Amino acid sequence: MIGLRTLARRVGPLLAAAGLMGLSGCMPFYFRAITFPADFGGYSREADLSYGADPRQRLDVYLPHGAAGPRGAAGAQRPRPVIVFWYGGGWTAGSKQDYRFVGAALARAGYVVVVPDYRLYPQVRFPAFVDDAANAFVWVHAHISDYGGDPAHLFVMGHSAGAHQAAMLAFDPRVLAKVGGERSWIRGFIGLSGPYALTPNSAVLDAIFAPPYRPADWQPVRFVDRDAPPSAIFQGTADTTVSPSNAVDLDSALRAAGVATELHLYPGLGHAATVASLSVIARWRVPELEQIRAFIARNDPSP
């Protein structure tokens, strides 16, 4: 039987090339290919838990071996740090099912991981999908202890549009306050190729981010202040979907506010590569998973 390392060496270069595509690279075949290793062991998953009434308001919880199951399985280890991850797709596409490789990678690294779905355009426009992100996060804070997670150690993370979702929660305190949450619950922000200074440049984006809302309402970089959580920002320099200037500008704003931040620029990598690199098959390209683990360790006092 072929091992995962051998599979990575044989298939990795092909998938890495596909990963250099922009949002058009988020195709079912591509994500099924990099999700395939996630079907193996090392974690368990509780799927389709509801955080709202809409069918898109569902989330999956990934549990590392040794974490508590629903209602707290006997013999579970200490509560684990929690990562809530939102996927991208231009606010028009995406499914949590396609990102099992993210949940698996982070759960195998020792974290309880939550991957929510959220409502998309044309069903909703800004800020409804940000409200979904906030409601999912409040659900996590209230319920994650039942799954072995520590509600005092919550990290928000996302890729592309999902990084925008996570950044809105991390940097605009009104977002969580609107649904009964608190920004202070966030231990750290992890952003992959996010549009933090989003300027709509298509008819679809113009429709999603429409009046009466303005850039001052939807650009996370504008909300950075000294109370923002520590941040780790990951970006490929060859990204033609989201300009690397978004990452640089966010890092600069955080530094100016006196917030601990780290910027990881990956030379020659494109838009999808920052999330694809969490897959076993593409992980050889950059040390992203190790850098995420180091960031969480620096900002999580748990032993």
* Containing structural domain, residue 47: 4-188+202-298
State the average pLDDT for the chain: 88
Res 301 pLDDT > 80: no
93 located within any domain: yes
Percent of the chain scoring above 90 in pLDDT:
78
The answer to whether position 127 is within a domain reads yes
Tell me whether residue 196 is in a domain. no
Q: Looking at residue 95, which CATH number applies to its domain?
A: 3.40.50.1820
Instruction: Identify which of 234, 296, 223 has the alpha carbon closest to the alpha carbon of residue 265.
Output: 234
Bigger pLDDT: 41 or 293? 293
**Residue 208: both structure tokens together:** 């999603």
For position 68, what pLDDT does the model report?
Answer: 62
Residue 235, in any domain of the structure: yes
Q: Where is pLDDT greater, at 30 or 177?
A: 177
pLDDT beyond 90 at 283? no
What is the tally of structural domains in the chain? 1
pLDDT band of residue 285 (cuts 50, 70, 90) is confident
pLDDT band of 34, cuts 50, 70, 90: low
Residue 95 CA to residue 80 CA, distance in Å, equals 25
Number of H helices, E strands in the chain: 11, 8
In a domain, 193, yes or no: no
**DSSP result, 174-212:** HHHHTTT--GGGEEEEEEES--TT----SHHHHHHS-TT
Q: Could you read off the pLDDT of 236-245 as tens digits, one per residue?
A: 999 999 999 9
Flag whether 197 is in a domain. Answer: no
pLDDT band at 146 (very low <50, low <70, confident <90, very high): very high
Residue 94 lies in a domain: yes
10 inside domain: yes
Q: CA 151 → CA 15, 96, 138, 259, distances in Å?
A: 36, 22, 10, 22
